[in-house]
Amino acid sequence: MRPEVERELIKKCRAGDSRFYEPLVRAYEQPGLRVALGMMGNLDDARDSLQEAFVKAFNALGRFDITRAFGPWFFQILRNQCRDNLRSRQARFRMEALDENLEIRPADPKTGPDRLQERSAVKATVWEALSMISEEHREIIVLKELQGFRYSEIASILEIPEGTVASRLFHARQALKDALVDMGVEYP
């Protein structure tokens, strides 16, 4: 969605008409669900967190700096909501078997069928390994790998310097690699 369209929609929402919030929800719900699912580990909790984040964002639109982009601000709210829900429910990251909801696809169009089949077997293990790393590491991996945010965007969402993003990402990847190796995944 173009920034000027977002700004117009936000202005209308601020005037009290929630119908203009729908395009924003529809534009951000899929990326939001990916992030929430990565952080919460199961679809029910992810949907709850996403809905609550959208409601909170709408109620806070009056305080939103309209010169900024809506996306990073919303993902900041979503990330905080996921963390709050994990804490208030005293729930650990509850891993759900996502075979029905997730599918594997080649990230690289040049990837051949052999490589795809081989890596497909690792899919469930990779997903499970996410539950074995810390919340801080998991969230940065989710933002970078599952959602594909750039370093500057992650820095804005997590409110940390870009240099910290790079170093935290390095440690998170190391932790994930260790978890995968512990689970028997072989890397060259």
Partner 1 sequence: MRYLDGEASPEERARIESEAAGSTELSRDLTVFRMMKEDLMGLQFSPELRRVSVWDSVHSQLTRPIGWILLVIGTAVWVGYGAYLYAVSDGEPFEKMATGAIVIGILLLLVSVIWEQYRAWLTDPYKDIQR
Q: How far is CA 154 from CA 47, 52, 134, 147, in A?
A: 22, 21, 17, 10
Per CB under 8 A, which of residues 46..65 are in contact with partner 1?
47, 50-51, 54-55, 58
- The sign of the dihedral angle between the CA atoms of 25, 28, 34, 35 is negative
Closer to partner 1 at the Cβ: 5 or 166? 166
CA 107 – CA 155 distance, rounded (Å): 24
Binding range to partner 1, per CB under 8 A, among 2-10, 64-72, 96-104, 131-139: 96-104
Closer to partner 1 at the Cβ: 63 or 105? 105
Q: Is 113 in the site for partner 1 (CB under 8 A)?
A: no
Tokens of 106: 């080649």
Q: How far is CA 183 from CA 125, 134, 186, in A?
A: 8, 16, 9
Tokens of 125: 């293990």
Binding range to partner 1, per CB under 8 A, among 1-9, 69-77, 137-145: 137-145
How many Cα atoms sit within 13 Å of 1 on the Cβ side?
20
- The binder of partner 1 chosen from 3, 8, 11, 30 (CB under 8 A): 30
Closer to partner 1 at the Cβ: 51 or 76? 51
**Run of H or E including 35:** helix 22-40
Closer to partner 1 at the Cβ: 75 or 127? 127
Contact positions vs partner 1 (CB under 8 A): 18, 21-22, 25-26, 29-30, 33-34, 43-44, 47, 50-51, 54-55, 58, 88-89, 100-108, 111, 119, 122-123, 126-127, 141, 144-146, 148, 150-151, 166-167, 169-170, 173, 176-177, 180, 187-188
